Chains A and B, each alone.
Chain A
Amino acid sequence: GDSVTQMEGPVTLSEEAFLTINCTYTATGYPSLFWYVQYPGEGLQLLLKATKADDKGSNKGFEATYRKETTSFHLEKGSVQVSDSAVYFCAPAFKAAGNKLTFGGGTRVLVKP
């Protein structure tokens, strides 16, 4: 079945460091791809998305590119801030499966001043 593998955390960084969180998926089709973020004590928020190969999603300084050939959607940010401390979830959605989201296990990121 469809699945997603996400880099395990926690990831601890200093402010202004570069962040990358790896995400790969297995599937028989071509899903839409999402990164969701969960800040401490808050609900899930959509961070960015990409719906077809080579699309780049971006938001709040974060970027991820839909790589069909490697079935990956790695999340990157060039200079993190303390406010980026959160749990990040990678999630493909398959149209043939009603666009339900299949979430990775989440990666906790802690940014220290």
Chain B
Amino acid sequence: DTGVSQDPRHKITKRGQNVTFRCDPISEHNRLYWYRQTLGQGPEFLTYFQNEAQLEKSRLLSDRFSAERPKGSFSTLEIQRTEQGDSAMYLCASSFPGRPKQFFGPGTRLTVL
């Protein structure tokens, strides 16, 4: 399977705990994007990387959120001190250099109790 993969697919945590998600993009893609989708809404942009550089962060990405892509391949998204409002589907996408078409992973569904 050469598509975008995300792990875990589901995560249930208690409020105040930290969680980390992983995204493995398509290997030739140098751009990697994170989005968040809450129930009944369209995905919202969080941040994106070109290789290992984080080029933009949305205002939605509070200081409890941090994303990394240390070697320009996989990326992690960490949420510290989770809140119930963080419950959502976290989507990762990747693209070829300079090309607008993005390929999406299956997402990680986070539930904060």
B45 interfacial by beta-carbon distance below 8 Å = yes
Partner of A93, one of B100, B104, B106, B107: B100
Residue contact A49 to B44, C-beta cutoff 8 Å: no
B42 interfacial by beta-carbon distance below 8 Å = yes
A-B contacts, CB under 8 A, total: 60
Give 1 or 0 for each of B63-82: 1 = CB within 8 Å of chain A CB: 00000000000000000000
| A43-B42 contact given A99-B31, A99-B100, CB 8 Å threshold | no
| A100-B48 contact given A43-B104, A43-B105, A43-B107, CB 8 Å threshold | yes
Residue contact A99 to B102, C-beta cutoff 8 Å: yes
Binds B, one of A11-19, A68-76, A103-111: A103-111
Residue contact A45 to B42, C-beta cutoff 8 Å: no
Residue contact A98 to B104, C-beta cutoff 8 Å: no
Partner of B41, one of A34, A43, A106: A106
Residue contact B42 to A89, C-beta cutoff 8 Å: yes
A102 interfacial by beta-carbon distance below 8 Å = yes
| A101-B107 contact given A44-B43, A106-B41, CB 8 Å threshold | no
Collect the chain A residues with CB atoms within 8 Å of residue B105's CB: 43
Residue contact A98 to B48, C-beta cutoff 8 Å: yes
Residue contact A103 to B107, C-beta cutoff 8 Å: no
Residue contact A99 to B95, C-beta cutoff 8 Å: yes
Collect the chain B residues with CB atoms within 8 Å of residue A95's CB: 100
**CA distance in complex: A36, B81 (Å):** 32
Collect the chain B residues with CB atoms within 8 Å of residue A102's CB: 45
Q: Could you list 19 further interchain pairs (A-B, Cβ under 8 angstroms) beyond the known A44-B43, A104-B42?
A: A6-B42, A32-B101, A34-B100, A43-B91, A43-B106, A43-B107, A44-B91, A46-B102, A46-B103, A93-B102, A95-B100, A98-B56, A101-B35, A101-B93, A103-B35, A103-B43, A106-B40, A106-B41, A106-B42
Interface residues of B (CB under 8 A from A): 31, 33, 35, 40-45, 48, 50, 55-56, 91, 93, 95, 99-107
A sample of 6 cross-chain residue pairs with beta-carbon separation below 8 angstroms, ordered by A number, consists of A43-B106, A49-B100, A89-B42, A101-B35, A103-B35, A103-B44
